[in-house]
Amino acid sequence: MQRVVRWLAMALPPLLFIVGVVVLWELWVREREVADYLVPRPSAVWEVLEGDPGRYAIAAQESLTAALGGLMVASLSAFALAVLMAHSRLLERALYPTALMIKVMPVVAVYPLFAIWFGFGIWPKVAIVALITFFPMLVNALIGLRSVDPATLDFMRSMHSSRWDLLWCLRLPSSLPYVFAALRISVPLSLIGAVVAEFLSGSSGMGQLILIANGDFDTPALFGAIVVLAFLGVALTAIVAAVEHRLLFWHESTLEV
Amino acid sequence: MVNESGPARAGRIATYNDPASTARSRRATCAESDAAAPVSTDTAVDRDSAGGSAIELRGLAHDYSTDSGVVRAIDTVDLDVAPGEFVSIIGPSGCGKTTMLRAVAGLLEPSFGSLSVLGGSPREAQRDHAIGLVTQEPGLMPWLTVAENVRMSLKLAGRPDAVDDWLRRVGLDRFAGLYPRELSGGMKQRAALARALAHAPRLLLMDEPFGALDELSREALRMELLKIWERERSSVLFVTHSIREALLLSDRVVVMSGSPGRILKDLAVPFARPRSDALFVDGEFLALEERIRVLLRTAN
């Protein structure tokens, strides 16, 4: 009971705000008789979504697959590289500038290259997503693996811990708060990456759906795509937050004040 | 690990005189697992002369390089701790007490001198899981419960599980399932003490273990340690700022002078064991306390 009350207290204000905005919007558009191709009524957007949910579901699934695939490839490889770099300053010095260069490179510029290499299927999209989500994980994981409590490290070393023990028992758990900070950045980035890649290829997913709606001046359909993307972003972020809360119960960031 | 392949290790002590090692030993203070590299030179000595003491320091000195040049933290320290002896080190802040203790623990490579721990190098003592370390910060792992934290040292040492027993002995048996952030400072330090003792180390190294606690917790933990140690009788090197604490616990109190740290006086503490806090009002105790206080005043 108390949990339900607390949950309502958390969820109700933002929900009420959104509902309020949508209602005011609907009333304003009706009152002023604004054309649907300029600012569509929320109800018109809903009609589009409801009229062909399959189209949106398939597009969303295509985008989501690319986003999560790229995110996974990038996060795992970035974390593995961070582990190596955390153990070798030489490796860090050697690789960091290159990683930084890749980070500041505009992904849009690389897409044609990826299209040549990976064709027009899902792989160039995965590559684009991986490219933009790699760096946040690398930087955060590296800091996390190094930000170990010195007193705990002294204890572990006085016990003749192997590098593996230090990594598995100390560095890895210590890095988790930073890993989740990285995910909070890279999860939304992964959706952006997928949609941008779809804009460029125009072959599938939410990006293609938006391109087509735009070409048809079908603004309600455009808004429908935006709503779906917003929903996907919120859902993914909520999942990350839930897992974080579960795993980081011991960390200050999850303390309930 | 790095140091596994050294030559026969019985009766060896580590000597340090390589100027290049200064740079490395500075890294040893950074949070790096590989920083305590193998010792620079090993000199074989007769096992009897080295194995007689739990700790044997000869001409130990250590330099830190800072932006404004090289700073000597400790200077030519000679010190012996006999097996089963409780030795306290007391001195003004920055007299190199911690540097000395970290060198003994194998966490820092001293710049000069020689150092033998339980008849071998500090790294060998680490490998034998013969060292129990308690520092001012408890250094518990926040993602493990109290019991799991204590179990960690048993796991690393490959010793049978004695967690419940140790938690009872430090008075934490009712809190075994709690996480560190749910504990008070004193309770955290009790857990750290149990963790340091659980694998039955022959040498206990304590760096101001009660320094961050309130006076009441300090007092309680002090008595707890006294009681536990008088049963275990491991060798102890104990760094503290409290004269009373040093006198209550120790067989000897080593008084050090300020930077660079040198040994001013090595005092035997004559009181019979088992001891209790009744000593605090003993005339001889108070006289010794005053004597050390005067020594420390001139040390600065």
| Strand arrangement of the beta sheet that strand B252-257 belongs to | B131-134, B203-207, B235-240, B86-90, B252-257, B262-268
Taking the Cβ of residue B33 and every Cβ of chain A, the question of whether any pair is shorter than 8 Å is answered with yes
The H or E element containing residue B79 is strand B69-81
Asked which of B182, B199, B216 is the last residue of a domain, the reply is: B199
Determine the pLDDT at residue B62. Answer: 93
- Is the overall model pTM greater than 0.90, yes or no? no
Evaluate whether B107 touches B28 at the Cβ level (below 8 Å): yes
Tell me which DSSP letter residue B183 carries: S
- Pairwise CA distance, residues A156 & B139, whole Å: 10
Q: Give strand pairing partners of B132.
A: B204
Residues of A in contact with B136 (CB under 8 A): 151
- Closest-CA residue to A172 (of A152, A196, A190, A158): A152
3-state SS record for A197-247? HHHHHCCCHHHHHHHHHHHCCCHHHHHHHHHHHHHHHHHHHHHHHHHHHHH
Q: Is B128 helix (H, G, I), strand (E, B) or coil?
A: coil
Evaluated on CA atoms A190, A195, A199, A202, the torsion sign reads positive
Residue B32 has pLDDT above 80, yes or no: no
Are residues B137 and A151, on separate chains, in Cβ contact within 8 Å? yes
Residue of B nearest to A150 (CA): B31
Residues A40-82: pLDDT tens digits? Answer: 999 999 999 999 999 999 999 999 999 999 999 999 999 999 9
**B195 shares its domain with B206:** no
Confidence of residue B11 (pLDDT cuts 50, 70, 90): very low
Are residues A154 and B107, on separate chains, in Cβ contact within 8 Å? yes
- Both ends of chain A: CA-CA distance in Å? 20
The overall average pLDDT reported for chain B is 84
Q: In B, residues 200-239, which contact A (CB 8 Å cutoff)?
A: 205
Residue among B24, B29, B30, B33 with most chain A CBs within 10 A, to mutate = B33
**B218 shares its domain with B286:** yes
Across the interface, of A151, A158, A252, the residue whose CB is closest to B131 is A158
Across the interface, of A152, A173, A250, the residue whose CB is closest to B179 is A250
**B102 shares its domain with B250:** yes
- Pairwise CA distance, residues A101 & A107, whole Å: 12
| CATH code for the domain of B105 | 3.40.50.300
Residues of B in contact with A173 (CB under 8 A): 141, 143
Residues of B in contact with A150 (CB under 8 A): 31, 137, 139
Taking the Cβ of residue B162 and every Cβ of chain A, the question of whether any pair is shorter than 8 Å is answered with no
**B65 shares its domain with B207:** yes
Residues of A in contact with B126 (CB under 8 A): 157-160
The H or E element containing residue B216 is helix B215-232
Tokens 């518990």 sit at which residue? Answer: B140
Question: Domain range spanning residue B165?
Answer: 137-199
Letter for the amino acid at A106? P
Asked which of B169, B184, B199 is the last residue of a domain, the reply is: B199
Determine the pLDDT at residue B261. Answer: 87
Phi, psi of A149 (to 5 degrees): -60, 120
- Closest-CA residue to B137 (of B206, B73, B74, B201): B206
Letter for the amino acid at A247? L
Are residues B141 and A146, on separate chains, in Cβ contact within 8 Å? no
**B207 shares its domain with B226:** yes
Are residues B36 and A157, on separate chains, in Cβ contact within 8 Å? yes
Residue A166 has pLDDT above 60, yes or no: yes
How many domains does chain B divide into? 2
Spell A44-68 as b/e; 16+ CB within 10 A means b: bbbebbeeeeebbeebbebbbbbbb
**B11 shares its domain with B92:** yes
Give me the helix-helix angle, A172-201 and A107-118, nearest 10°. Answer: 80
Q: Is B211 helix (H, G, I), strand (E, B) or coil?
A: coil
Shortest distance, CA A148 to any CA of chain B (angstroms): 7
Shortest distance, CA B243 to any CA of chain A (angstroms): 24
Are residues B156 and A161, on separate chains, in Cβ contact within 8 Å? yes
Are residues B126 and A155, on separate chains, in Cβ contact within 8 Å? no
- Closest-CA residue to B237 (of B156, B129, B167, B135): B135
With vertex at residue A83, the alpha carbon angle to CA A80 and CA A84, rounded to the nearest 5 degrees, is 95
Residues of B in contact with A170 (CB under 8 A): 141
Evaluate whether B22 touches B65 at the Cβ level (below 8 Å): yes
**B181 shares its domain with B54:** no
- Pairwise CA distance, residues B87 & B98, whole Å: 14
Confidence of residue B23 (pLDDT cuts 50, 70, 90): very low
Residues of B in contact with A159 (CB under 8 A): 126, 129, 131, 153, 156-157, 199
Evaluate whether A71 touches A237 at the Cβ level (below 8 Å): no
Residue of A nearest to B198 (CA): A159
Residue B7 has pLDDT above 80, yes or no: no
**B123 shares its domain with B179:** no
Residues of B in contact with A169 (CB under 8 A): 141, 152
Give me the helix-helix angle, B185-198 and B146-157, nearest 10°. Answer: 20
- Pairwise CA distance, residues A190 & A63, whole Å: 10
Shortest distance, CA B275 to any CA of chain A (angstroms): 29
Residue among A148, A158, A245, A255 with most chain B CBs within 10 A, to mutate = A158
**B163 shares its domain with B292:** no
With vertex at residue B207, the alpha carbon angle to CA B202 and CA B208, rounded to the nearest 5 degrees, is 130
Q: Is the bond preceding residue B260 a cis peptide, omega within 30 degrees?
A: yes
- Pairwise CA distance, residues B167 & A206, whole Å: 58
| Strand arrangement of the beta sheet that strand B41-44 belongs to | B41-44, B12-16, B112-117, B55-66, B69-81
Across the interface, of A148, A155, A159, the residue whose CB is closest to B31 is A148
Are residues A149 and B137, on separate chains, in Cβ contact within 8 Å? yes
Are residues B33 and A153, on separate chains, in Cβ contact within 8 Å? yes
**B41 shares its domain with B151:** no
Residue B48 has pLDDT above 60, yes or no: no
Residue A147 has pLDDT above 50, yes or no: yes
- Alpha carbon A102 to its chain centroid, in Å, reads 19
Over residues B58-74, mean pLDDT:
90
Taking the Cβ of residue B181 and every Cβ of chain A, the question of whether any pair is shorter than 8 Å is answered with yes
Determine the pLDDT at residue B259. Answer: 75
Q: In B, residues 34-73, which contact A (CB 8 Å cutoff)?
A: 34, 36
The tokens for A237 are: 């972020």
**B145 shares its domain with B121:** no
Residues of B in contact with A249 (CB under 8 A): 179
- B237 CB-near residues (< 8 Å, 6+ apart): B55, B81, B87, B89, B101, B104, B203, B204, B205, B206
The H or E element containing residue B123 is helix B122-127
Evaluate whether A157 touches B107 at the Cβ level (below 8 Å): yes
Residues B241-262: pLDDT tens digits? Answer: 999 999 999 999 999 988 788 9
Residues B122-141: pLDDT tens digits? Answer: 999 999 999 999 999 999 99
Residue among A92, A160, A248, A254 with most chain B CBs within 10 A, to mutate = A160
Asked which of B199, B222, B244 is the last residue of a domain, the reply is: B199
Are residues B152 and A169, on separate chains, in Cβ contact within 8 Å? yes
More confident residue, A201 or A252: A201
Give the least confident one: A103-117, A162-176, A221-235, B131-145: A103-117
Residue A227 has pLDDT above 70, yes or no: yes
Are residues B135 and A149, on separate chains, in Cβ contact within 8 Å? no
The tokens for B273 are: 């064991």
More confident residue, B52 or B13: B52
Determine the pLDDT at residue B300. Answer: 64
Evaluate whether B257 touches B295 at the Cβ level (below 8 Å): no
Phi, psi of B261 (to 5 degrees): -65, 125
Letter for the amino acid at B63? D
Residues of B in contact with A87 (CB under 8 A): 33-34
**B141 shares its domain with B253:** no
